[in-house]
Structure 1
Amino acid sequence: MSVEVRIETGRIARFLRMRGGRVERKLRERTARVARIAQQEAPGSMGRYVDWHIEEGPRGLEGVITCDHPAVHYVLNGTRPHLIRPRRRGGVLRFEVGGEVVFTRLVRHPGTRPNNFLGRALRLGR
């Protein structure tokens, strides 16, 4: 008696990567975990703008995490020192410092350090 076993690696790979398969479930779990960490690591209210989804990529399924907050570019890359002026000509800026309201025509902002909370979340979620 003889037994012949053929392993078709292409079929096994397609089976594992198909929608709803084991690989997609694990990818969903890991992507959701990294997105939760990114929401916690994001400064201020920016975490509410973090979202994730699974999509078909060139090599199969991919987990994608996005943050669509309007200032995310400045948070991730930081800013150089810069001047802030009122939008309207002759207008003033109003803000609070130490609980006191301040009015001024010019602010010399010192800049901000980069805060790559998305990269940090990816490292922590591994």
Structure 2
Amino acid sequence: MSVQVRIEPGRIARFLRLRGGRVERKLRERTARVARIAQQEAPGSMGRYIDWHIEEGPRGLEGVIICSHPAVHYVLNGTRPHLIRPRRRNGVLRFEVDGHVVFTRLVRHPGSRANDFMGRALRLGR
């Protein structure tokens, strides 16, 4: 009596990538872990805007982490020094400095350093 075993790499790869399979479960765990780290590393309230999901990509399943905060681009890339003016033509800007309310028509913002908290979370989550 003889036994023949045929290994088909393509079929094994498809089996492992099935929805609900072992690979998807591991991918979900890892993506969720990186998203949690990104929420902790994010400045201010930006962590509340971080979400994740698994989607079908060109090479199989992919874990996707998204930050939908309106200022995330400026935090990740930093800003150069710039002027801030009120939106309305004769409006004023209102903010607090050392507990005192200040009104002004122009702010000379010094800019900000880039804070790549998403990249840092990806490295820490490995």
TM-score interval, smaller chain: over 0.9
Map of 2:57 onto structure 1: 57
Deviations 1:62-100 (A, max 9, x none): 000000000000000000000011111222111000111
Q: 1:42-121 counterparts in 2 under 5 A?
A: 42-121=42-121
What is the distance in 2 between the residues matched to 1:2 and 1:56?
Answer: 41
Q: 1:21-36 counterparts in 2 under 5 A?
A: 21-36=21-36
Map of 1:9 onto structure 2: 9
Find the residue that maps to 1:44 and give its secondary structure: coil
Instruction: Could you tell me which runs of 5 or more consecutive residues in structure 1 were left unpaired when the two chains were aligned.
Output: none
How many matched pairs?
Answer: 126
Map of 1:40 onto structure 2: 40
Find the residue that maps to 2:87 and give its secondary structure: coil
Instruction: Could you tell me which runs of 5 or more consecutive residues in structure 2 were left unpaired when the two chains were aligned.
Output: none
Q: Which segment drifts farther, 2-11 or 69-78?
A: 2-11
What is the distance in 2 between the residues matched to 1:87 and 1:69?
Answer: 20
TM-score for the superposition, normalised by structure 1: 0.97
TM-score for the superposition, normalised by structure 2: 0.97
Cα shift at 1:54: 0.2
Moved over 4 A (4+): none
Identity of aligned residues (%): 90
What is the distance in 2 between the residues matched to 1:40 and 1:3?
Answer: 55
